[in-house]
Amino acid sequence: MKTVLSFLKPYKLPAAVAFALMLVELAVELALPFLLGKMINEGVVNQDLSTILKWGSIMITLAFIAFIAGLINSFYASHVSWGFAYDLREELFAKIQAFSFSHLNQYPTSALMTRFSNDIRQMQNTIYMILRIMSKAPLIVIGGVVMAFIVNAKLAIIFLITVPLLVGFVLWVLKIASKLFQNVQKSVDTLNQVMQENLIGMRLIKAFSRRKHEEARFKKANQSLAERTRATFRFVEASMPVLLFVMNMSLLFIIWLGNAQVVAGTTNVGDVVAMINYALRVSMSISMFTFIIMAFSRMQASTKRVNDILHIHTEEAQKVEWNDTTANHVQRGAISFQHVYFSYPTHKESVLHDITFNVNSGERIAVMGATGAGKTSLFQLIPRLYKANHGIITIDDQDVTSYPLNQLRDSIGYVPQSPLLFTGMIKENIAWGKARATMGEIIQAAKDAQIHETIMQLNERYETKVGQKGVNLSGGQKQRISIARALIRKPKILMLDDSTSALDLATESRLLEAIETYHCTTLIITQKISTAMRADRILLLDRGEILALGTHQSLLKSSKLYQRIVESQFGKEVSHAK
């Protein structure tokens, strides 16, 4: 199982190069105060210009080497962090593509978007900063103290008091700050969620005039984020004067003790200057710890969230375990449900109970029932969008679970209740149903779905753009394009989930006639008796159970509920006459 950190493996070499170059920068940074001390002691104090120039030019050369090392380090750090983020995004995308419907219920769109954008960016930035400066800070603290002891062991004792004091204080600040930061992150998540729901549901919000309500919701989330961020940064900023005080006190001590030693002749001015320099560099690095650990704790939270997704066991991952020779493509499309029970993973209540029925190859079944009866749920079990809790569903006498998922779904044309079109041309939206579809196939599918003429009336015909910047189609037009998308794959099983609801009777009639020419097993969820009457048999669902299954005529005789539905749509007399 892949974890986030394993995505760094391919970048071991460039990361090592970046780290080595960072060590070069570090070495120069630690050497400069030492050399400065030498320049003062040997050159400035003795007023020896050639010595000043000698040490000066060495320092400039070293600074230039550090500058070049920094540039190349930055290049490699970017390469590692961008490459890592790119690979991780690819993997995450593939993982989400393999999500079952249960997983999609578990992780709302906003949560997945946060992982894609925020979390990966967070990790990418932190990796860059680790390779660039973060790993340098603790090394400067250690190296600075060591160098200080080399320069002047007596003065360096001050470091032994101030460094643990500063480190201890920073760790205490961080302990509190990390809790505050977790709250900030929660607020960021909430704000993202509100924002995304608003963008997705903008049309609905306008239709229901819920702008004020949504504004209030956004304001609340925004305020919470602002307040938490303010509180966190105030706390971190309040710790700064304390840090500065300790830092300045240690500098004062170094100057005071250094001065005494210079007067006593036990040390040189240059060494004192070098010590002050080390003290400054060490304290600056310690103060960076706050920033570093905060970045780490944010990265840790992001890593956990992305790992959660990577560790989800998706079915596609199992594909290799299936033996392709035993599992074939669907040949005839005969469906059988045997004592099937189903409940959604998120809800315990049973949605389908003891469903048993058979559909012959090429048969046309209309599925009827009140809203919430379980019609869509029953449909979703066939292409294994969800798994049944008990019982067996077979296609061509073979358990659906024994088909490789791709082969199973390739044989099925599923038109969901609410049609979804992607931004792009109409022809692309239809061709989406079949890999390498020809223009002839696209037009034929559109003709059969009764949408060809409408498309031909549009300015750019099949090239017309759908979606945000293109033409917005009516509900019925969208339904027919989704039907064309299902027909183009010449499915063995066609499932229409209330997909003809927006069509007038004449168009629907032509559509159903055209579907007959496909000779596929057809399941149609419908509320309209006129549609149901054209089916070979009608399956009546009520509260998750099969109430009746038979032809229009037999149900008129045997099912009270069916009679009532017919009466409600055709009137009493007509229903008796039929």
φ, ψ (nearest 5 deg) of residue 325 = -75, -30
- Nearer of residues 105 and 507 to ligand ATP, judged by Cβ: 105
Contact with ligand ATP (CB under 6 A): which of 346, 459, 468, 517? 346
CA distance 394 to 384: 11
Contact with ligand ATP (CB under 6 A): which of 17, 39, 275, 351? 351
- Nearer of residues 497 and 508 to ligand ATP, judged by Cβ: 497
Q: Which residue stretches of 311-431 are H helix?
A: 375-381, 405-410, 426-431
- Nearer of residues 105 and 307 to ligand ATP, judged by Cβ: 105
Distance in Å from the first CA to the final CA of the chain? 62
CA distance 440 to 445: 9
Q: Does 257 bind ligand ATP (CB under 6 A)?
A: no
Q: Which residue stretches of 98-210 are H helix?
A: 101-106, 109-114, 120-129, 136-151, 153-200, 202-207
- Shortest reach from residue 319's CB to ligand ATP, in Å: 25
- Nearer of residues 186 and 543 to ligand ATP, judged by Cβ: 543
φ, ψ (nearest 5 deg) of residue 125 = -65, -45
- Shortest reach from residue 244's CB to ligand ATP, in Å: 56
CA distance 198 to 205: 8
Q: Does 373 bind ligand ATP (CB under 6 A)?
A: yes
- Nearer of residues 247 and 351 to ligand ATP, judged by Cβ: 351
DSSP letter for each residue of 484-524: HHHHTT--SEEEEESTTTTS-HHHHHHHHHHHHTT--EEEE
- Nearer of residues 76 and 562 to ligand ATP, judged by Cβ: 562
Q: Which residues contact residue 493 at a Cβ distance below 8 angstroms, ignoring those fewer than 6 apart?
A: 330, 333, 335, 382, 395, 411, 412, 413, 520, 521, 522, 523
Contact with ligand ATP (CB under 6 A): which of 114, 152, 285, 376? 376
- Stretches 19-27, 323-331, 371-379, 507-515: which one binds ligand ATP (CB under 6 A)? 371-379
- Nearer of residues 143 and 374 to ligand ATP, judged by Cβ: 374
Six-digit token string for 434: 């079949």
Contact with ligand ATP (CB under 6 A): which of 105, 190, 193, 464? 105
- Nearer of residues 81 and 376 to ligand ATP, judged by Cβ: 376
Contact with ligand ATP (CB under 6 A): which of 33, 37, 144, 369? 369
Percent helix / strand / coil, the chain, rounded to 5: 65, 10, 20
CA distance 77 to 499: 52
Order of strands, sheet of 390-395, starting from the edge strand that comes earlier in the sequence: 352-359, 335-342, 390-395, 398-399
- Stretches 238-246, 294-302, 372-380, 504-512: which one binds ligand ATP (CB under 6 A)? 372-380
Contact with ligand ATP (CB under 6 A): which of 377, 429, 477, 521? 377
CA distance 548 to 538: 8
Six-digit token string for 56: 């000066």
- Shortest reach from residue 345's CB to ligand ATP, in Å: 8
Beta bridge partners of 335: 359, 395
Give the distance from CA 157 to its chain's centroid: 51
- Shortest reach from residue 476's CB to ligand ATP, in Å: 18
- Nearer of residues 371 and 468 to ligand ATP, judged by Cβ: 371
3-state secondary structure 265-322: CCCCHHHHHHHHHHHHHHHHHHHHHHHHHHHHHHHHHHHHHHHHHHCCCCHHHHHHHC
Q: Does 538 bind ligand ATP (CB under 6 A)?
A: no
- Could you give the 3-state DSSP secondary structure of residue 144? helix
453-478: burial string, b at 16+ Cβ within 10 Å, e else: ebbeebeeebebebeeebeebeebbb
- Nearer of residues 33 and 369 to ligand ATP, judged by Cβ: 369
Name the one residue in this structure whose structure tokens are 């060490």: 282
Q: Does 348 bind ligand ATP (CB under 6 A)?
A: no
Q: Does 375 bind ligand ATP (CB under 6 A)?
A: yes
- Nearer of residues 258 and 374 to ligand ATP, judged by Cβ: 374
Footprint (CB under 6 A) of ligand ATP, residues 378-417:
417
- Shortest reach from residue 370's CB to ligand ATP, in Å: 7
- Stretches 27-35, 169-177, 374-382, 400-408: which one binds ligand ATP (CB under 6 A)? 374-382
Contact with ligand ATP (CB under 6 A): which of 107, 149, 169, 344? 344
Count of residues binding ligand ATP (CB under 6 A)? 14
- Shortest reach from residue 371's CB to ligand ATP, in Å: 3
CA distance 43 to 41: 6
- Nearer of residues 112 and 134 to ligand ATP, judged by Cβ: 112
Which helix (H) or strand (E) segment holds residue 264: the answer is helix 211-264
CA distance 361 to 396: 8
Give the per-residue contact string, 4-33, with ligand ATP (x = CB under 6 A; - = no). Answer: ------------------------------
Name the one residue in this structure whose structure tokens are 């320099």: 277
CA distance 365 to 368: 10
Q: Does 341 bind ligand ATP (CB under 6 A)?
A: no
- Stretches 163-171, 235-243, 340-348, 472-480: which one binds ligand ATP (CB under 6 A)? 340-348
Contacting positions for ligand ATP (CB under 6 A): 105, 344, 346-347, 351, 369, 371-377, 417
